[in-house]
Structure 1
Amino acid sequence: MNEQEQKKIYHFFVDAKRYETDKSSLTGAEIKAIASITPTYQLFLEEEGDTPDKPISDSEAVHLKEGEHTRHFYAVPPATFGTR
C-alpha cells in the first residue's frame, strides 16, 4: 500500500466552497486559514433540523465527518452594531 492509499481525505465546506484536508479534525483558526477567511470573522457550523448553528471559536477543534455527513461552515463579519 502506498502513502496516498494510507491517508484519508476529509472534505468540508465553507460558504458553499469545498475544501479538503488529511486531518480528521481542525480548529476554527485552521478552517479559516484553509478557506482564506479573514481571521476576525466568526465561524459557524451549520446544524441540521431545528438545532441552532454553532459558533466555532478559533481554538475549538471540530471533528470532520466522512461521506454524506460532510461538515458545512459559514463565516460572518464581526458585528458592527452602533457604528456609523
Structure 2
Amino acid sequence: MADHDQSHHDHDGNIFIDKKRYPIEKDAMTGSELKSLAGIPQDYELWLEVHSGEDDKIENTQSIELKSGMKFFSVPPVINPGSGR
C-alpha cells in the first residue's frame, strides 16, 4: 500500500518559456500565471510547442498540467494590417 499525499507532490524538472528555463513549482498553472512568471504582457498569445502536430494556444484562464521539458513561446497580439496609415 503506497501512501501518497497529492498535496505534497515533487516538482522536479523545468519548463521553458521563450527559451528561458523556469523550475516547476506547481502541478498546474494558468496561461496568465505562466505569462506573469516570464514577464510576458497579458495581451500576448502563449503557445505550447507540440512535436506531433500543431502547437496549442494557451488561453489566459486555461489551466495547464506542467510536465518537465514543456516548451512555451509568446507571440505579440495580432495587429490589424493596413491600419497603420
**Which TM-score applies when normalising by structure 1?**
0.80
Q: Deviations over 1:19-53 (max 9, x none)?
A: 1132011100000000000111000000013x110
**Consecutive unaligned residues in structure 2, runs of 5 or more:** 1-8
User: Do the aligned partners of residues 26 and 10 (structure 1) sit closer, same or farther apart at CA in structure 2, a change above 3 Å counting?
Assistant: farther
List alignment gaps of at least 5 residues for structure 1. 1-5
**TM-score where L is the length of structure 2:** 0.79
- Asked if structure 2 preserves the Cα contact closer than 8 Å seen for 1:10 and 1:23, the reply is no
Match of 1:40 in 2: 43
Q: Could you tell me how far apart the structure 2 residues matched to 1:79 and 1:40 are? A: 10
Q: Percent identity?
A: 32
Q: How many residues align?
A: 75
Q: Supply the RMSD in Å over aligned alpha carbons.
A: 1.5
State the distance in 1 between where 2:47 and 2:30 align. 12
Question: Which residue does the alignment assign to 1:20?
Answer: 23
Query: Which portions of structure 1, spanning 4 or more consecutive aligned residues, are displaced by more than 2 angstroms?
Result: 6-10
Q: Is the 8 A contact 2:14 2:22 kept in 1?
A: yes
Q: In the alignment, what sits opposite 1:54?
A: 56
